Amino acid sequence: MAIAMHWSCLSLFLPNAPSYSSSPSGGASLPGTANSFVSFSGLRATSASSSSHGFFAKKLWSLEKTRILPVIECLVKSLEPTTHTTKVQRNANLAKLQGGYLFPEIARRRNAHIQKYPDAKIISLGIGDTTEPIPGLITLAMEARAHGLSTLEGYSGYGAEQGEKAMRVALAETFYGGMDIKDNEIFVSDGAKCDIARLQLVFGPDVSIAVQDPSYPAYVDSSVMMGQTGAFRKDVQQYSKIQYMRCSHENDFFPDLSSVPRTDIIFFCSPNNPTGSAATREQLKELVAFATINGSIIVYDSAYAIYMSDNNPRSIYEIPGAREG
């Protein structure tokens, strides 16, 4: 059985939204009218607890070219820290996570390398970012929809929890055309990491998982937080109780499934993040057959399928038997 996920990201830019900038005194300026602004400056704190601070404001007025500019200075008075006690224990699995998310760590090491070797040519395999503006067709539609919500005729209240039907129909036709995927099998959500975590909640803590190595770190991190793994092994930089399916140049970036033990869940991404390797039709047939024999579920991440330039499958559902459980 396979679960297919297709994720897309949009950066929302509102051209008429108020901007926030730094004031000359170093504080943050909040938007006001054309003739005024409010500035917060002189803010400092010595404790992380908001309850240990006393705030007071002093209102100042200044005159600039006959315009009255109200300025509020916020100062902080440090008090004794407050100690809180509780009998509630945090999720112990969080302590297994290694110092933070992978991509910030990659960025830290990249910046340290550049500082040491300013002329170094670096190909970053860290977090991706958008480099081109959103097409005008999309932003115009967003603008029209947002404006409609401000009218009695256009206001719609909460949308369908699985996403608007018209959008789900369009997604089914665009990404799964000819694969017999219905719109009621499509769910519109708030992003990849959230969906991965929700799937882990569905599976629970007692399942075993396999991941490509290397692979998108959210698969592993969500498994750790769910309690599906053992401790982190620093000698091999891997978690125990996870099957890491090695994908390298030597095996054409596809795991040797004959040496992979059975697991309940198989996370598989094609084209892969970060290698960019795309599985062939024959390779995916092998993967589906492997999961069928073992009674495993494939969580198939096709976030980058739009970049496929050859005849490789863009969805696991192109493979016979992928939908059978």
Alpha-carbon distances, residue 238 vs 179, 232, 235 (angstroms): 37, 6, 8
Provide the pLDDT for residue 2. Answer: 72
- When mean pLDDT is compared across 71-80, 99-108, 188-197, the lowest value belongs to 71-80
Provide the pLDDT for residue 84. Answer: 74
The pLDDT confidence band at residue 44, using thresholds 50, 70 and 90, is very low
Q: Does residue 1 register a pLDDT over 90?
A: no
Which residues, 6 or more positions from 259, have their beta carbon under 8 angstroms from its beta carbon? none
Provide the pLDDT for residue 295. Answer: 95
Provide the pLDDT for residue 278. Answer: 94
Q: What is the mean pLDDT of residues 293-297?
A: 96
d(CA 42, CA 162): 46
What does pTM read for this prediction?
0.69
Provide the pLDDT for residue 74. Answer: 55
Residue-wise pLDDT for 213-229, tens only, equals: 999 889 999 999 999 99
**Please, are residues 274 and 102 in contact by the beta-carbon 8 Å criterion?**
no
Provide the pLDDT for residue 28. Answer: 41
Provide the pLDDT for residue 11. Answer: 29
